[in-house]
Amino acid sequence: MATGIACGKIILIGEHAVVYHQPAIAIPFSAVQVRAHIKQTDDSIITLNSSIYSGDLAHAPALLDGLRTAFEKACFHLAIQPTNMAITIDSTIPFERGMGSSASVTAAAIRALAQFTQKPLDDKTLKAFVDISENIAHGSSSGIDASVITYETPLYYVKNQPLHPFHYSLDAYLVVADSGITGNTKDAVSRVKHLQETQSELHQQLIEQLGQLTKDTQQALLQQNAIAVGKIFSQAHHCLQQLTVSTPLLDTLVDTALQTGALGAKLTGGGLGGCMIALASSKQQAEQIANNLKQAGAVNTYIQHLL
């Protein structure tokens, strides 16, 4: 049996603006991960076993089109027939919640395939396959999820530009709360596009503001200034609200985190559901925020030290 593993990701800041060539900062999120296992079978098909679908991969629902297409192309690249395999996906990444589940499932499955074929697969090639899957899953994707999940390093990311691994160290805690509502990145990206078509000045102003806030976050992280990072997160949430991608529950969770003393809070990822993040100055405060977020409606919380 061959195994491939991939982590989740969290966008700290810059989601949506990154689609319009502004920078974004994203980090690998190891509190959640996908493990894909591949074993040989006697069936002349690829069988998928996962929490959302089990059966012939060729007949999987449309939401798995990205995985199927990328996996078949990877089979071709690795010179193996796309038959006689069973893929099992074990994932702790909730689906469509802005933690990169679609990119992570594809990365883990193709890593397992490379091990199965005993052929090397470099990260650049793997990323190209994850990009194929993401472009199908999200319409037109900026490529940020594919990049962070393939390279497993924090990135200061600008679409279509060489990758810049971004090393920082902040003695603060990131609280991630899952609203339990399935987000829809494709819809959220189209909403922002609609705003561009109907209110182009407002759209441009918000996108540029988010780009500037990302640049400010980069500086604040390099200066290890958690208070500044927190303030910027809250400003970014206001921009994302105006881009119409927040929800009442995400807003409530952001308010709850701030009322519990968070340095700042915002939604993360595409929005319209999914997750929010809050910055806490100590582990104790992070745990308090996580508890209050659960009482306010979050179905799950995670804490990651940013040091």
The reply on whether position 16 binds ligand PMV by CB under 6 A is yes
Q: Are strands 155-157 and 300-305 parallel, antiparallel or unpaired?
A: unpaired
Q: Interacting stretch for ligand PMV, rule CB under 6 A, among 8-16, 71-79, 119-127, 196-204?
A: 8-16
CB of residue 228 vs ligand PMV: minimum separation in angstroms?
Answer: 23
Q: Interacting stretch for ligand PMV, rule CB under 6 A, among 12-20, 109-117, 279-287, 297-305?
A: 12-20
Q: Interacting stretch for ligand PMV, rule CB under 6 A, among 120-128, 135-143, 201-209, 281-289?
A: 135-143
C-beta of 23 vs 260, nearer to ligand PMV: 23
Alpha helices in the chain (DSSP H): 65-77, 101-117, 123-138, 144-151, 185-198, 200-222, 226-242, 248-259, 283-295
CB of residue 62 vs ligand PMV: minimum separation in angstroms?
Answer: 17
The reply on whether position 189 binds ligand PMV by CB under 6 A is yes
Strand partners, 87: 38, 48
The reply on whether position 145 binds ligand PMV by CB under 6 A is yes
Nearest to 260 by CA among 291, 228, 299: 291
Q: Interacting stretch for ligand PMV, rule CB under 6 A, among 9-17, 75-83, 196-204, 235-243?
A: 9-17
Nearest to 166 by CA among 16, 35, 14, 274: 14
C-beta of 94 vs 270, nearer to ligand PMV: 270
Nearest to 254 by CA among 240, 243, 210, 287: 240
The reply on whether position 98 binds ligand PMV by CB under 6 A is yes
The reply on whether position 15 binds ligand PMV by CB under 6 A is yes
- Residues 251-280 contacting ligand PMV, CB under 6 A: 269-270
C-beta of 189 vs 236, nearer to ligand PMV: 189
The reply on whether position 144 binds ligand PMV by CB under 6 A is yes
**Separation of alpha carbons 103 and 247, rounded Å:** 24
C-beta of 186 vs 294, nearer to ligand PMV: 186
The reply on whether position 100 binds ligand PMV by CB under 6 A is yes
**Separation of alpha carbons 124 and 233, rounded Å:** 31
**Considering only residues 91, 185, 247, 301, which one is a binding residue for ligand PMV as defined by CB under 6 A?**
185
Q: Interacting stretch for ligand PMV, rule CB under 6 A, among 138-146, 167-175, 227-235, 282-290?
A: 138-146
Cα end-to-end span (Å), the chain: 36
The reply on whether position 18 binds ligand PMV by CB under 6 A is yes
Q: Which residues touch 211 (CB under 8 Å, ≥6 apart)?
A: 14, 17, 22, 23
The reply on whether position 138 binds ligand PMV by CB under 6 A is yes
**Separation of alpha carbons 31 and 150, rounded Å:** 16
- Give the pair of three-digit tokens for residue 166: 């971004």
C-beta of 82 vs 139, nearer to ligand PMV: 139
DSSP category for residue 281: S
- Give the pair of three-digit tokens for residue 253: 């969770």
* Phi-psi category of residue 113: left, alpha or beta, with phi > 0 → left and psi -120 to 50 → alpha: alpha
Interface residues with ligand PMV (CB under 6 A)?
11, 15-16, 18-19, 98, 100, 138, 141-142, 144-145, 183, 185, 188-189, 269-270
